[in-house]
Amino acid sequence: MIKTILIVFTQIVFTLLLYLLGIVMLGLAMYPGVLFCLFIWQKSAGFEIAYRLLALCFGSVAGYFIFGFVLMAIVGLIRFIFRLNLKEGEYPMFSLASAKWALANSLQLIVSIVFMDFILLTPFANLFFRLLGTKMGKHVQINSKFCADLSLLEIGDYSVIGGHSTVICHSFERGKFILRKVRIGKHVVIGLNSVILPGAEIGDGSVIAAGAVLLKNTKVEPRSIFSGVPAQQARKEDLRSHS
């Protein structure tokens, strides 16, 4: 009984601390955008009120994008300062490693909720993934905000993560918290709505079909096509056309 109360109390305190961190981060990120809006309002003091309000509307939208990019920078800075790189292994459910994981993913979640939709399929998405520790090759295309544990994710050159795909590097099993890397090779296509689970290794030139679920620790040979639930190899294709 006492142990249960302590666990619940610890969870509440940790959650409140995350809320406090979120308030600080979001407040700092909003500050430059609010200053920009104030600048617009002051500079338009001589305009008629209709034009002044129109200028403020444009300034507010620009301020939102300023807020989003500043928030990305703050999240990357916090990850660097607190060294929130995750490490593979098995840990107790309530441990420093699990707390570190929760903090790292909470930081990512804030950006995902308030800004990520505007940067998918742009170099800014790749930049954000790199800021959170993803090892990434050149010309990668990311069209999903449902990737987690980014410091355990590796993506090769010219690979694509399709819309609404889920890529995670953690699991909870029999009282253990488990972290495993996900390695995506070069010229890989992760299809729409597919799910990639911890420990998966996807060889160069492979395709994970739309809606497929690649089970944990699955090794996909180069140039393979996997489909279905759970995903199974359908066939191989020639990689030469992608080279």
Strands (E), the chain: 89-92, 135-136, 141-142, 146-147, 153-155, 160-161, 166-167, 170-173, 176-179, 182-184, 189-190, 195-196, 201-202, 207-208, 213-214, 219-220, 224-227, 232-236
User: Is pLDDT above 50 for 240?
Assistant: no
Which pLDDT value is given to residue 239?
46
The encoded tokens of residue 240 equal 């030469």
Question: Which residue is associated with the tokens 């953690």?
Answer: 170
Q: pLDDT band at 242, cuts 50/70/90?
A: very low
User: Is pLDDT above 70 for 238?
Assistant: no
φ/ψ of 90, rounded to 5, equals -115, 130
Using a CB cutoff of 8 Å and minimum separation of 24, what contacts does 98-105 make? Answer: 98/177, 99/14, 101/149, 101/170, 101/177, 101/179, 102/14, 102/18, 103/18, 104/79, 104/132, 104/149, 104/150, 104/151, 105/148, 105/149
Query: Would you give the DSSP letter of residue 93?
Result: S
User: Is pLDDT above 60 for 107?
Assistant: yes
pTM of full prediction above 0.75: yes
User: Is pLDDT above 50 for 241?
Assistant: no
Cα 37 from Cα 49, distance rounded (Å): 15
Average pLDDT over residues 236-243: 49
Cα 104 from Cα 107, distance rounded (Å): 5
3-state secondary structure of 9: helix
